[in-house]
Every structure is written in structure tokens, then in C-alpha cells.
Amino acid sequence: MNYYCTPEFFAANRRELRRQLPSGALCVIPSAGLLQRTGDTSFPFVQDSNFWYLTGSNHPDMVLVISPIEEYIITATRSVSRQTFDGSIDFDVVRQATGGVHVFTAHEGWQRLKADLHTYSSTLYAPSVSPAYSKAHGMFTNPHRRKVIEKCRRLISGAPISSCTPQLTAMRAVKQPAELQALQAAITMTTTAIDQVREYFLELHYEYEVEALLSKAFRTGGEGHGFAPIIANGKQATTLHYTENNGPLLRDTLTVIDVGASVEHYSADVTRTIARGTPTPRQMAIHQAVLEVQQFAMSELRVGTLLRDYEAAVRGLMAKKLLQLGLLTSVAQTDLVAKYYPHATSHFLGLDVHDVGDYSAPLTENMVLTCEPGIYIPEEGIGVRIEDDVVITKHGSRVFSECTVAL
């Protein structure tokens, strides 16, 4: 049962989506499906964020249908054998969690959807299925979504399907009070756990021991990690998304801890860099440079800020810091700036750790972003990143992630 996101929260989201779509539109939102791990076992299930945002249901292989006159969910067919192993779906529980959506078996639901597709085929909406995304990110996207949308396309004889992704993106980018509360809970859980790691850090010997402490903390009142944890010691910290977490914690090195607890599917994203032993003057200088860049960046996050201009200003200050550290001979060496600072400063945060949002539009109140500058020096085996989570307010911004920053 959700504490922050109530059935009324999900019902209100569906009403708002219906309001934003043209009159008479039919909208089909597939859930995520189970993904094979090996043989007949699957990876731990993670729900499609749009489906969760509109239903609060955590079951795989479902379809939400929002028609001009009703809302219903089509469940997956489960054999007797699968019900024995995985359990059955309690329709009443799903109906209550969603705030009153009708729930049908696969046969009943698809018969109903076929009739709706015949009636509303000229105004069918669904989330985008973009081959370009798979190509750009090197991964397949929700195959169940593609399967459902292709089936709908066949049923309407290839008629065009409009995308409701822009509407859902705009809705999810501006957080409601319940979402801010869930995010704050996830972030507080994360910062508390990181500070606990600091207490025991010198007693630990491997990256996976840090991960284990965090995993236990995130399962106590949360759903675990919101994304694959990064525990990167020494030179491993120069690989931005290092997730093996199996190396030793070497003396006189820095360790980047980039993690986030998940609460009601909302993910924190906090990074701290911790010294093992007394930090060297060089390590302290790099850490201080990153901290000063972050302080400047956070001061620029406010209503009306354009992220394009913001990123350029942050990168300009970072160039000056890299020059002071002896890594550049001129602030005009943009190629070297990109080498030592190869990622953006901020991204949206919410149901996805890299959440949806329009990066070309001005920031508005109640958007939540990260602020995470870093410096990575492969030739010195040093990586430093400091990341906090920030909500845009009427008068500026507020940091969600109060946590020890010092090395």
C-alpha cells in the first residue's frame, strides 16, 4: 500500500491526461513486461513509469485503456501453473489501488478494446515507440509496449497512432505534493545511509561491502535501489557509470558513492566522494574545486532558468577550476574541459532516475533536478563527484539532500 501516492493521486493523473488530449481520444498505456534473465527465470520486475503514474499498479503485462466514456485495465492471461508459482491477480486490489478503474481478463479486455478501436480509430494515442532511442542508448525499450501498440495498429489496419508522450512528459516534469513527499523520503533515506557508511568506512575493505550496507538501509522502509549503485574506488571513479562494485577500497584513495533509494517508485540520486585515510592536498584541491562549481550551479537553479545557458555558465567556471588545477593551459581548451568533465551538470529526477522533462524549456516551480559536477583525471586515478537533489521553488531552489560533503 502506498503512503504518499494514494488512489486519488492516480485517478487525478488520468483525469489530467484525458483533459490534455483531444476530445474523443482513446489512449492505450501498456505496462512493462517480464524480461528473461536466463532460462525460465526473469529479472526483478520494474514497472513502466507512465503506467505506474496513471495506475499505481505494479503488475506486468497489463494495458490501461482510457476511452472517452470509461477507464479499464486489461490483465495478462495466467495459466494455472503460473498462478501456482507466481500467484494470481486480485482484481479488487487492483481496482482499489487505481482509484476505481475497471479490471478485465485478457479475453474480455481485448474484446472491449477491439470495439473501442473500431469506434475511435482516428484518435488513438499511445506512448512513443522510438527505434532511435534503442540505437542511441544501446538497449531495447519496454518490449511489451511495442507488442501492444503493434497489435493495436493491426486492429486499426495501420491507421496512424498519435503520441501521448509529450502530455505525460509535461505532467511528470512538474511534481505534485505527494511526489515531492515521496522524493524527500527517498532522498532522506539515501543521505542517512551515506552518512552511516562514513561511520564504518575504515572498517570496510571492498566496494561490495559499501553496497551491502546501502542495500540493507534502502530495503528498510523503501523498495531498494532506484538504479544500479556506483561504488567506485580510486581509478574506477573515472568511469562514470562503474557498477561492478567488486574492487578493494585502497588506502589513500577516494571513493565515489553514487546511489539512490526508491520510495513508491520515486528515486533519489545523491553522490558523495569519501577519502580513505587522510586526503592529500591534491585530492582536497580537486574536491574543493568541484564543491565550488556545485555551489555556483545550485545558485543558478531557479524559475525561468534555461538549462542550455545554465550548463554553459557552469562549464565556464569549471574551465577556470581546471586551469587552476594545472589540467588546462587555457580556458579555451574545450576538448580538455570535456575530457575532465564529460557529463552534464543536471538532469530531471522523479520516477526515473534520469526523469522525463523538456531540456529546452525554462525551469518552472516544483521541478526536481540533480546538481552533480565532477572532475575525473584518469592519468592520476582520481575521480570526484558531488551530487545533490534540488526542487525549484517560487523564490529560487531548495536542496533536498542534506548530507555531509567533506572528504
Each residue's pLDDT tens digit, 152-206? 989 888 788 999 999 999 999 999 999 999 999 999 999 999 999 999 999 999 9
In whole angstroms, give the CA distance from residue 317 to residue 324.
11
CATH 3.90.230.10 in the chain is located at: 174-399
Q: What are the distances in angstroms from CA 110 to CA 78, 104, 107, 114, 268?
A: 15, 9, 6, 6, 37
Cα–chain center distance at 146: 21
**Closest alpha carbon to 258 in 48, 403, 117:** 403
Pairing of strands 230-233, 254-259: antiparallel
Low-confidence ranges of the chain (pLDDT < 70): 1, 130-140
Q: What are the distances in angstroms from CA 167 to CA 13, 43, 99, 196, 267?
A: 11, 30, 21, 40, 22
62-73 per-position pLDDT tens digit: 999 999 999 999
CATH 3.40.350.10 in the chain is located at: 7-172
Strands of the 63-66 sheet, one edge to the other: 102-104, 71-74, 63-66, 26-30, 124-126, 162-163
Domain 174-399, CATH among 3.40.50.1240, 3.90.420.10, 3.90.230.10, 3.40.190.10: 3.90.230.10
pTM, entire model: 0.95
Q: What pLDDT does residue 132 have? A: 56
In whole angstroms, give the CA distance from residue 164 to residue 22.
11
CB 293 within 8 A of CB 316: no
Q: What pLDDT does residue 157 have? A: 85
Class level of CATH domain 7-172: alpha beta
In whole angstroms, give the CA distance from residue 360 to residue 166.
13
Only one residue has cell 545558485, namely 299
Q: What pLDDT does residue 103 have? A: 98
